[in-house]
């Protein structure tokens, strides 16, 4: 069996990162100029990495499928970014943030990585401030904070309800600066369709120009995947429509292990689905839970409007079940608690699939102006979509598929199991364990891109600095190009009777039902066989119109869905293998009498890293998690 080497440095937890940096290899500036790095994806992780690597002197080729790097889905993270600055003097520290994150992830992440995440959070805020992110400020000029789910201190920095947008714009600005300096070659509307591995090393990628259809090879000394999450496998999710798992899936098929694929965060505060025709679900920032109170009517057949239901007939179920965290209980717990109430018949809204998020008390306590200042754009967005004024009546919210904690397995250096292939941001599995705390995603993406990767990649490059990168005429590049072309031709030639969206809806339905908020053995076995059927049908019956040498969005969708159909199988296999409940992974067979998750540290304290064998065969390789500094405890928010 393959062995996984996490490369976690020896020594005290607090000193690991410093020690790593002190011992890492360096490359002199003259040699850096000769090295070329490919960065796929231009969100917070990708743009940060591309800009910083270029600043360091490397040449970078950066790719994104959108029309501009400033569109990457990082824009949609509204609420904030965590940093342990302890500006509020409320007892925050690197250790506390590390502990909150490790516990939030239900002790399924690596101690050393999580500690580094907390450690680098403070300088990251300095960095973004210097780049001109207009973070919220107090009247005296200092930075303002609020709190998020899963924590009891105020460590979240924010820029109105546009934090992700503003951080991304900052990263995009830095990237633009390096494009102008000709250190970064930016390829917009390009999608990576294959990874090229030669002699065990990542040597380049194959892309499709989405406007012209041109298939092209690009070579490099190292490849960095910063392609975000894959929750569009559920079809309805909070992710942008273009988000996909293709790049990491192709890398997986070429030898990169895929870790914890089934750990998907279900966000508790999305807008409820209103019809089958919906293309996505809209997220309302979790920051709303800071001041909003969540409730459902005690009476199942409640017909009255929310405001007409008296206090004693409301069930503030989060405050009832989790008195110390209340409405700030972590996402997995809040989502499951909502599902429990909805399933029990207390759901509200036209389809009875939502719960109330009420600001009445907050408005009474703080005044409408403060609420407008804090969440104004979220309230207006809510009104645009639903036509409801949430200053007057409670919002309707519902759980939705959101962040994928799973992704390519990476070591402490963020390198995958393929030499020279790195995965950063949501594309990797590293810091969040089985559940990500709110406002930690922007943080992880940013530190991976700005601070960690630019330090760790040298260690690999220093060894190959004298190696000649195989040219794109190398047979392996040509072989990959031919495979990509054949794959596209096969799709276009099917000319069946069903649309790509039809298959995506089918896949989404089964994944949402059997592999989302809660899972059980029977359902997962059923899902696996069903997905195989859908996949078979897809390759027989899908219809994609148009051709390959043009801007063809139907073809783009079909290519992504073909990968989702394979990835979905692995997600179900992973969920089936883990006979315990932890974080976002709730196996119905493993719960306490009061419905709380039952973790099994004795048998499952490991990261599941899957090796690809064939389209429906995967081999499990375990990375045992060693907790030297924190003793895993039962994760209670009561």
Partner 1 sequence: MKINFKIWRQENIQTKGAFRDYQLDGINEDMSLLEAIDFLNEKLVLQGEKVIAFDYDCREGICGQCGIFVNGRAHGPHDNVTTCQVHMRSFKEGETIVLEPWRAKAFPIVKDLVVDRSAFDRIIQKGGFISAGTGSAPEANSILIGKKEADKAMDAAACIGCGACVATCKNSSASLFTASKINHLDHLPQGRIESYDRTISMVKQMELEDFGACSFTGGCEIECPQSISISQIARMNNLFMKALLKKE
Find the part of the chain contacting partner 1 (CB under 8 A) among 60-68, 104-112, 396-404, 599-607.
60-68
Helix, strand, coil shares of the chain as percentages rounded to 5? 40, 20, 40
To partner 1, the closest distance from the beta carbon of 554 in angstroms equals 5
To partner 1, the closest distance from the beta carbon of 543 in angstroms equals 6
| Total site size for partner 1, rule CB under 8 A | 82
At CA 184, angle to CA 183 and CA 186, rounded to 5?
155
- Residue closer to partner 1 (CB basis): 158 or 295: 158
To partner 1, the closest distance from the beta carbon of 355 in angstroms equals 19
What separation in angstroms does the CA of 630 have from each of 100, 109, 304, 633? 11, 12, 49, 9
Which stretches does DSSP call E strand in 385-534? 395-404, 407-409, 421-423, 428-429
H or E segment at 122? helix 111-130
- Rounded Cα–Cα distance for residues 421 and 201 (Å): 8
Farthest-apart Cα atoms in the chain, separation: 75
Find the part of the chain contacting partner 1 (CB under 8 A) among 274-282, 319-327, 405-413, 606-614.
274-282
> What angle, rounded to 10 degrees, do the helices at 453-464 and 44-56 form?
50
DSSP 61: E
- Residue closer to partner 1 (CB basis): 136 or 198: 136
**What is the full DSSP assignment across 201-269?**
EEEEEEEEETTT--EEEEE-SEEEE-----GGGGSSSSS-TT--SHHHHHHHHTT--EE-TT-EEEEEE
Residues within window 372-401 making contact with partner 1, judged by CB under 8 A: 381, 384-385, 387
φ and ψ at 620, to 5 degrees?
A: -85, 125
Residues within window 576-595 making contact with partner 1, judged by CB under 8 A: none
Residues within window 533-552 making contact with partner 1, judged by CB under 8 A: 543-546, 550-552
CB-based contacts of 400, cutoff 8 Å, min separation 6? 236, 237, 238, 266, 267, 270, 281, 283
Among 2, 15, 90, 123, binds partner 1 (CB under 8 A): 123
To partner 1, the closest distance from the beta carbon of 134 in angstroms equals 4
Find the part of the chain contacting partner 1 (CB under 8 A) among 121-129, 291-299, 322-330, 486-494.
121-129
- Residue closer to partner 1 (CB basis): 390 or 609: 390
The answer to whether the beta carbons of residues 498 and 565 sit under 8 Å apart is: no
Dihedral sign (CA 588, 592, 593, 595): negative
To partner 1, the closest distance from the beta carbon of 158 in angstroms equals 10
The answer to whether the beta carbons of residues 55 and 179 sit under 8 Å apart is: no
To partner 1, the closest distance from the beta carbon of 505 in angstroms equals 10
Residues within window 9-48 making contact with partner 1, judged by CB under 8 A: 48
Nearest CA to 105 among 347, 402, 333? 333
- Rounded Cα–Cα distance for residues 88 and 621 (Å): 43
Residues within window 400-419 making contact with partner 1, judged by CB under 8 A: none
* Candidate list 70, 110, 232, 331, residue with the active-site label: 331
To partner 1, the closest distance from the beta carbon of 172 in angstroms equals 7
Among 162, 219, 269, 430, binds partner 1 (CB under 8 A): 162
Binding mask 303-342 for partner 1 (x = CB under 8 A): ----------------------------------------
**What is the full DSSP assignment across 515-570?**
SSS-B-HHHHHHHHHHHHHHHHHHHHHB---S-SSS--HHHHHHHHHHHHHHHHHH
Is residue 63 within the footprint of partner 1 (CB under 8 A)? no
Residues within window 190-209 making contact with partner 1, judged by CB under 8 A: none
CB-based contacts of 617, cutoff 8 Å, min separation 6? none
Q: How far apart are the first and last CA of the chain?
A: 41
To partner 1, the closest distance from the beta carbon of 618 in angstroms equals 31
Among 47, 75, 251, 562, binds partner 1 (CB under 8 A): 75
The number of helix segments (H) and strand segments (E) in the chain equals: 18, 20
Residues within window 128-147 making contact with partner 1, judged by CB under 8 A: 129-132, 134-143
Active-site residue, 155 included: no
Binding mask 460-499 for partner 1 (x = CB under 8 A): -------------------------------------x-x
Find the part of the chain contacting partner 1 (CB under 8 A) among 23-31, 279-287, 521-529, 570-578.
279-287
Among 7, 24, 36, 55, binds partner 1 (CB under 8 A): 55
Binding mask 497-536 for partner 1 (x = CB under 8 A): x-xxxx----------------------------------
To partner 1, the closest distance from the beta carbon of 602 in angstroms equals 42
Among 165, 419, 459, 600, binds partner 1 (CB under 8 A): 165
**Active site positions, annotated:** 331
């Amino acid at each position: 069996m393959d062995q996984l080497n996490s490369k976690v440095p020896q020594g005290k937890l607090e000193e690991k990162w410093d020690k790593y940096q002190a011992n890492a290899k360096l490359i002199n500036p003259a040699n850096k100029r000769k090295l070329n790095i490919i960065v796929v994806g231009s969100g917070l992780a990708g743009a940060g990495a591309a800009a910083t690597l270029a600043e360091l002197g490397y040449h970078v080729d950066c790719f994104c499928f959108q029309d501009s790097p400033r569109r990457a889905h990082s824009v949609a993270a509204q609420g904030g970014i965590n940093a342990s600055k302890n500006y509020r003097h409320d007892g925050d520290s690197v250790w506390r943030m590390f502990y909150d994150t490790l516990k939030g992830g239900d002790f399924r992440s690596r101690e050393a990585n999580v500690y580094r995440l907390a450690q680098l959070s403070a300088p990251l805020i300095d960095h973004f401030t210097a780049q001109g992110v207009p973070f919220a400020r107090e009247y005296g000029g200092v930075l303002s904070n609020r709190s998020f789910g899963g924590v009891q201190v105020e460590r979240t920095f924010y820029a109105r309800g546009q934090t992700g947008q503003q951080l991304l714009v900052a990263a995009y600005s830095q990237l633009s600066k390096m494009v102008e300096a000709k250190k970064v070659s930016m390829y917009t509307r390009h999608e990576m369709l294959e990874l090229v591995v030669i002699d065990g090393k990542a040597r380049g990628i194959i892309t499709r120009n989405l406007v012209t259809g041109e298939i092209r090879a690009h070579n490099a000394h190292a490849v960095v995947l910063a392609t975000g999450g894959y929750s569009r496998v559920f079809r309805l999710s909070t992710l942008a429509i273009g988000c996909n798992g293709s790049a990491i899936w192709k890398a997986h098929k070429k030898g990169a292990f895929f870790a914890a694929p089934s750990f998907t965060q279900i966000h508790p505060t999305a807008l409820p689905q209103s019809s089958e025709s919906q293309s996505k679900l809209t997220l309302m920032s979790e920051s709303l839970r800071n001041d909003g109170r969540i409730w459902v009517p005690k009476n199942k057949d409640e017909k009255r409007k929310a405001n007409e239901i008296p206090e004693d007939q409301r069930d503030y179920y989060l405050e009832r079940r989790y008195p110390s965290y209340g409405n700030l209980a972590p996402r997995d717990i809040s989502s499951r608690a909502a599902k429990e109430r909805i399933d029990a018949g207390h759901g509200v809204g036209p389809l009875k699939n939502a719960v109330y998020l009420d600001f009445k008390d907050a408005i009474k306590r703080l005044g409408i102006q403060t609420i407008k200042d804090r969440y104004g754009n979220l309230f207006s967005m809510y009104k645009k979509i639903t036509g409801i004024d949430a200053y007057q009546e409670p919002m309707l919210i519902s759980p939705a598929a959101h962040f994928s904690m799973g992704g390519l397995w990476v070591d402490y250096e963020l390198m995958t199991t393929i030499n020279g292939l790195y995965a950063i941001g949501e594309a990797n599995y590293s810091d969040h364990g089985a559940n990500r705390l709110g406002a930690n995603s922007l943080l992880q993406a940013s530190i991976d891109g700005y601070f960690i990767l630019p330090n760790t990649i040298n260690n690999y490059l220093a060894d190959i600095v004298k190696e000649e990168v195989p040219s794109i005429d190398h047979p392996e590049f040509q072989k990959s190009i031919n495979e990509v072309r054949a794959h596209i031709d096969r799709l276009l030639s099917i000319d069946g009777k069903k649309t790509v969206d039809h298959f995506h809806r089918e896949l989404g339905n089964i994944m949402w039902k059997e592999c989302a908020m809660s899972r059980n053995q029977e359902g997962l076995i059923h899902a696996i066989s069903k997905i195989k059927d859908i996949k078979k049908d897809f390759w027989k019956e899908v219809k994609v119109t148009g051709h390959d040498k043009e801007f063809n969005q139907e073809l783009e969708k079909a290519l992504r869905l073909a990968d989702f159909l394979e990835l979905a199988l692995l997600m179900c296999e992973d969920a089936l293998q883990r006979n315990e409940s932890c974080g976002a992974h709730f196996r119905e067979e493993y719960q306490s009498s009061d419905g709380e998750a039952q973790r099994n540290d004795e048998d499952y304290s490991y990261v599941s890293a899957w090796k690809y064998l064939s389209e429906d065969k995967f081999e499990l390789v375990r990375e045992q998690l060693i907790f030297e500094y924190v003793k895993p405890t039962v994760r209670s928010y009561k």
